[in-house]
Structure 1
Amino acid sequence: MTDQKLPPASLVVPLDFDSVQTVPESHLWAHTDESSQKIESDKIVSIPVVDLNDDNVMELIGKACEEWGMFQLINHGIPKTLIAETEEVAQCLFALPKSQKMKALQVPGTSTGYCIARFSKYYEKLMWHEGFTVIGSPVDDFKKLWPSDYQRFCDKMEEYQLKMKALGDKLTRLIFKFLGISDEEMVKLLSYIDPTTRKPHMLLRLNSYPPCPDPSKVIGLATHTDTSLLTMLHQARKYGLQIFNEKEGWIPLARKSDTLIINIGDLLQIISNGRFHSIPHRVMIQETEETTMSMAFFYYPPGHLNVSPYCKPLSETPQTPIYKAVNVKEYFTIKANNLGKGIAALTI
């Protein structure tokens, strides 16, 4: 990271990747800590695989969250056909001419549409990435992209979000039970509609990583943690995602087919009182001539709620909160004001 920051992310337009033949200076990450992507193949690891139908699923998820902050989920209930069809919509979107995508550009004061990574403002260089954010119905943006054929694209995105929301509900309930959190507290944190905005607490971000003339000098997504409770990721390619381990450094992950990658977000780290960790991760561009994609579903509690460490009141070993309580909406501001280091700002 650097003290020299880009303009706000909403003011930066994604690169026209179809027109570039060399990596422009704005996207050149050579000679930085982030550019060290050449990692030995024997370091590639597979994070725990959890079967949602396993009789001990709660314990398996809890153990994976404690040890890794991340796991792969099989038998998750999201139909393969729906994932494939939603990915196809995303592919159609990113294959549009740049001039067409710009009609749905995310502008200041909005949260949806065509965009760069939101945390780009923390870095001096831009990432080899273009994104599209969907919250609820994408109809307003999709009308701009496909004026006469937007509804069929909208239907698929909405169906995918509802399925992912239901999965997020199930996973969060299992995790809260593992932590010993009461049903009453669960109801607050899993409230579907914010009473102030009447909007659901979910965000789908489509990520595209176009072909690059020199992958060794760029980054798909730079180091970050997610602000969510949980993030549920479908990635179309096997490699590219890397996690940071304090002992091993950067570790590339090998994705198992037909799985979703589930990782802990900052808000769940706070609620778990540090028992789970929101793991730093990044995406590297591989030696490929094809565009690759991922679809990240971010699962949040309502913005008006305060979250705080859950310390079991009747525990034999009394627990002391290690983080301050924080309002969910305010946490986003705290994280932005601390260059993406929100957890550190709450440490007691």
Structure 2
Amino acid sequence: MYKHLLHNSSELPPKDNHEQLIVEEIELLMIDLGRLNLSEFDRKECKQQIAKAAQEWGLFQVVGHGISKDILDKIRLEQINLFRKPFHEKINSKKLSSLAGNYIWGTPSATCLGQLSWIESFHIPLGDFLSSTNLTSLSSTIGQLSMEMFELANLLAKILDKKLGHHKPNFFKESCSPFNCYLRMNRYPPCPMPRGMFGLVPHTDSNFLTILLQDHQIGGLQFVKDGKWVTVKLNSESLIVIIGDLFQARSNDTYRSIEHRVITNELKERFSTSYFLCPSYETIINSCVEPSVYRKFSFQEYKKQVQEDVKTFGYKVGLSRFR
């Protein structure tokens, strides 16, 4: 499927791996969510930190988030065991019936090498998955993690929304449910031809919030800060929170949906797990601030437009379509 992309060297983008590797490494703002359970001063300051990070950076890291180390360690082990299975099992196995249809390698829509992500993943719509009766150690772990991630994502979303002055305190309770969200387990294989290749091509996320569990030992996440790419310094104790397109639109550009990417590694593989907080397809996204930067649109309309643009142009156009 990718043979013509890999063998046509003229399609390599005008960049090399050195450009990806020499960018500055920075440590993200660390927020201790445990402070939300302390004094009124601590709660107020913690919430202010969350809103400021979303506004100035578009991503931040959290500790004291309430998700147990046991479940995070367990999903890492289950994920590694899953990706170690032979290719034919990952796409056909009856034991993986609730996952096999969600297995992806690379970028199926790629029309040139610059659009190809060097990644394999299981992108899991949790509505179907949580309704499945196929109980295994893996499915049980995914189910437990996704529910805990949902609670954390909702907590952060409510804090961010309240800081905007929105007067719909039940918006996320009514529009987002565990069954609307997605979990994605990623493996970035060693890349023998790293020049011009990304583990995950530059993009923004099309949801409200993403919660990312990074690899403990292998870095690679980069994002745009002040107009240049920077590398996220590894921290084995934290989770990373990334603002998505829907929150940028709802906040009327107060919060930033940050462009990010993952670089390739020539020798080592890397694993990560991402949780995506999404609303129902019918949910209308609009700002309570006037004049609004964006017109009203539904989540379904947004996803459809993104898919059409990727199919037509090979890349996501995103929020600019809805100004």
TM-score normalised by L of structure 2: 0.83
Which residue, 64, 67, 77 being the options, matches 1:75? Answer: 64
**1:84 aligned to 2:65?**
no
Question: Structure 1 residues 102, 189: closer, same or farther in 2, change over 3 A?
Answer: same
Question: Structure 1 residues 193, 75: closer, same or farther in 2, change over 3 A?
Answer: closer
Which residue, 117, 121, 137 being the options, matches 2:109? Answer: 121
- For residue 52 of structure 1, what is the aligned residue in structure 2? 33
**Could you list the per-position Cα deviations for residues 246-280 of structure 1 after superposition, in whole angstroms to 9, with x for gaps in the alignment?**
53x22111122211110100000000000111111
After TM superposition, give the deviation of residue 288 of structure 1 in Å: 2.8
Contact 1:191–1:302 under 8 Å retained in 2: no
**Cα RMSD for the two superposed structures:** 3.0
Q: How many residues align?
A: 302
After TM superposition, give the deviation of residue 138 of structure 1 in Å: 3.8
Q: How does 1:195-344 map to 2 (within 5 A)?
A: 200-236=179-215, 237-245=217-225, 247=227, 249-289=228-268, 291-311=269-289, 319-339=290-310, 340-344=316-320
Sequence identity (%)? 25
Which residue, 106, 122, 135 being the options, matches 1:132? Answer: 122
User: Structure 1: any 5+ residue segments left out of the alignment?
Assistant: 1-11, 16-22, 144-149, 312-318
Contact 1:29–1:219 under 8 Å retained in 2: no
Contact 2:23–2:230 under 8 Å retained in 1: no
| Partner SS, residue 73 of structure 1 | strand
**1:177 aligned to 2:162?**
yes
Question: Structure 1 residues 345, 78: closer, same or farther in 2, change over 3 A?
Answer: same
**Could you list the per-position Cα deviations for residues 195-226 of structure 1 after superposition, in whole angstroms to 9, with x for gaps in the alignment?**
xxxx7121000110112223345210001110
- For residue 187 of structure 1, what is the aligned residue in structure 2? 170
Judging by fraction of residues, say which structure has more helix. Answer: 2
**Could you list the per-position Cα deviations for residues 105-147 of structure 1 after superposition, in whole angstroms to 9, with x for gaps in the alignment?**
9xxxx99521135x6526522221101022236489996xxxx
Which residue, 156, 160, 167 being the options, matches 2:141? Answer: 156
Question: Structure 1 residues 111, 123: closer, same or farther in 2, change over 3 A?
Answer: farther
Question: Structure 1 residues 29, 49: closer, same or farther in 2, change over 3 A?
Answer: farther
User: Structure 2: any 5+ residue segments left out of the alignment?
Assistant: 36-41, 311-315
**Could you list the per-position Cα deviations for residues 69-97 of structure 1 after superposition, in whole angstroms to 9, with x for gaps in the alignment?**
00011111111110110111111111000
Hey, what's the Cα distance between the residues in 2 that align with 1:169 and 1:96?
A: 34
Hey, what's the Cα distance between the residues in 1 that align with 2:32 and 2:56?
A: 17
| Partner SS, residue 281 of structure 2 | coil
Contact 1:104–1:113 under 8 Å retained in 2: no
Contact 1:202–1:300 under 8 Å retained in 2: yes
Question: Structure 1 residues 268, 139: closer, same or farther in 2, change over 3 A?
Answer: closer
Mean Cα displacement is larger for which, 130-139 or 219-228? 130-139
Hey, what's the Cα distance between the residues in 2 that align with 1:300 and 1:151?
A: 26
Hey, what's the Cα distance between the residues in 1 that align with 2:145 and 2:83?
A: 18
The amino acid across from 2:322 in the alignment is L
Hey, what's the Cα distance between the residues in 2 that align with 1:61 and 1:27?
A: 46
The amino acid across from 2:304 in the alignment is T
The amino acid across from 2:123 in the alignment is T
Question: Structure 1 residues 264, 28: closer, same or farther in 2, change over 3 A?
Answer: farther
- For residue 314 of structure 1, what is the aligned residue in structure 2? none
Contact 2:176–2:278 under 8 Å retained in 1: no
Contact 2:11–2:112 under 8 Å retained in 1: no
